[in-house]
Amino acid sequence: MVIGMDPHKRSATIEVMAGDETVVGGGRFDTDRDGYTAMKTYAKRWPIRVWAIEGCQGIGRHIANRLLADGEQIVDVPPKLSARARVFATGQGRKTDATDAHSVALVGTRMAGLRPLVNDEQLALLRILVDRRRSLGEDHTRMVSQLHQLLLELIPGGAKKSLSAAQAKAMLATVRPRDVVGKTRRRVAAELISDLERVYRRSKEADKELKDLVAATGTTLMDLHGIGPSGAARLLVEVGDISRFPNRAHFASWNGTAPIDASSGEQVRHRLSRAGNRQINRVLHIMATVQLRNPTEGRTYFDRKKAAGKTSMEAMRALKRRLSDIVYRRMINDTAAATTTGPGGQRETATDSSATGSHPHAGSSDKSLPGPAATQHRTPLPPAS
């Protein structure tokens, strides 16, 4: 049985569906202790069951974690898939908790390759810390923007773009406003500088902690130019099991670096995809930006694309696509190294024939996917009890 769930903060609506898509049960339950216990008791009517939960990395995470801790089998249903199922269902695409649960159950019954959730304490710890590190980065950006605005009103011309807390403090020391408004601006700017110093300290501590945890996983992602502790941690927690992607093209499509064919008539061109996992796309974008700022293979590849007549955006798109291949191969090799043991007990690194080399100029993968993926059968389900 597949139990499709539309989760919310205080409630969860479920629908129980058999392998032939027959609805055999359902209901709405609170997510407090009593409601959760009642939902688990209700689900025990079907001893062989799989929970299909929408948004396990978002609003559904809290209840998915509880079910995982209780030994339940869970697959993650992306909201886009359940939305498509709802649009093509009867009822004119009306959106209610019950119809959402029905759509999630349909996806869980029909679709192959849905990501199963595993109770991995190491990845869960990494996710908490990398989310915290991202929050600190967002706080830093917001504070610096506010500080720039205040300094522009206090000092003619303001401050340079790259501004540290120490530099801002030195600039503020030269300002002695006499009016009440100016004094207030200076006081608020001083408070922002103190907040920035605190964020700097916490960010540095978070980076050190993330670096140690990422190194403990055995991954070599941080050896790639442009990927730091936060980027490596984000890749690990978002990708999970890299083997769920059959090849590098599927991985690129998932992270949004596979270009979309936008040809028309005799004009053949591709455009940047706005779909895919945006957090991983951001990691690859930062990786590409760092490589462009230094004399790296990525810089050479970018310049070669520009010399071939591509625009800067097209060359950047091609570079990100190539870096996606490199990350894919590195994660495949890390997985193989963690599971393959050679003679004498030493780990060996396997290579994947479909992946590019370790440098951006190797292989050819700056094209979009060649066509639809091979037809897959439904998710294998145990017989209805």
Residue 277 pLDDT: 86
| Distance of alpha carbon 232 from alpha carbon 214, whole angstroms | 7
Phi, psi of 11 (to 5 degrees): -150, 160
211 in the same domain as 277: no
Contact 229, 210 (CB under 8 A): yes
Confidence grade of residue 342 (pLDDT, cut at 50, 70, 90): very low
187 in the same domain as 81: no
271 in the same domain as 195: no
CATH code of residue 47: 3.30.420.10
325 in the same domain as 251: yes
Q: What is the pLDDT of residues 223-276, one digit of tens each?
A: 999 999 999 999 999 888 888 888 999 999 889 998 777 777 777 777 777 778
pLDDT exceeds cutoff 80 at 346:
no
Last residue of a domain, one of 216, 246, 262: 216
CB atoms within 10 A of CB 39: 21
Residue 356 lies in a domain: no
Residue 376 lies in a domain: no
Residue 144 pLDDT: 94
211 in the same domain as 163: yes
Residue 112 pLDDT: 77
pLDDT exceeds cutoff 50 at 368:
no
- The proportion of the chain whose per-residue pLDDT surpasses 90, expressed as a percent, equals 55
Mean pLDDT of 124-128: 89
**pTM beyond 0.85, yes or no:** no
| Distance of alpha carbon 57 from alpha carbon 67, whole angstroms | 14
Residue 305 pLDDT: 93
For the ranges 73-77, 78-82, 125-129, 328-332, which has the lowest average pLDDT?
Answer: 78-82
Last residue of a domain, one of 216, 247, 270: 216
Mean pLDDT of 283-307: 94
pLDDT exceeds cutoff 70 at 380:
no
Residue 187 pLDDT: 94
171 in the same domain as 144: yes
Residue 374 pLDDT: 43
88 in the same domain as 27: yes
pLDDT exceeds cutoff 70 at 360:
no
Residue 359 pLDDT: 47
- In the numeric block, which tokens belong to residue 66? 């509880």
Mean pLDDT of 37-44: 94
Residue 143 lies in a domain: yes
Residue 368 lies in a domain: no
Q: Which residue has the tokens 């590195």?
A: 330
Contact 146, 199 (CB under 8 A): no
Last residue of a domain, one of 182, 216, 250: 216
Mean pLDDT taken over the chain:
84
235 in the same domain as 209: no
- Counting the structural domains of the chain, the total is 3
Mean pLDDT of 295-302: 93
pLDDT exceeds cutoff 80 at 329:
yes
3-state secondary structure of 270: strand
Mean pLDDT of 333-341: 80
pLDDT exceeds cutoff 80 at 288:
yes
Residue 340 lies in a domain: yes
Residue 337 pLDDT: 87
Determine the structural domain holding residue 17 and report its residue range: 2-116
131 in the same domain as 80: no
Mean pLDDT of 179-202: 94
Residue 379 lies in a domain: no
87 in the same domain as 147: no
Q: Work out the angle between the directed axes of helices 278-292 and 229-239 (0-180°, nearest 10).
A: 150
237 in the same domain as 161: no
CB atoms within 10 A of CB 150: 21
Contact 368, 258 (CB under 8 A): yes
Adjacency order of strands within the sheet including 74-77:
23-30, 11-17, 2-7, 50-54, 74-77, 115-116
205 in the same domain as 131: yes
Contact 200, 165 (CB under 8 A): yes
Residue 352 lies in a domain: no
Residue 51 lies in a domain: yes
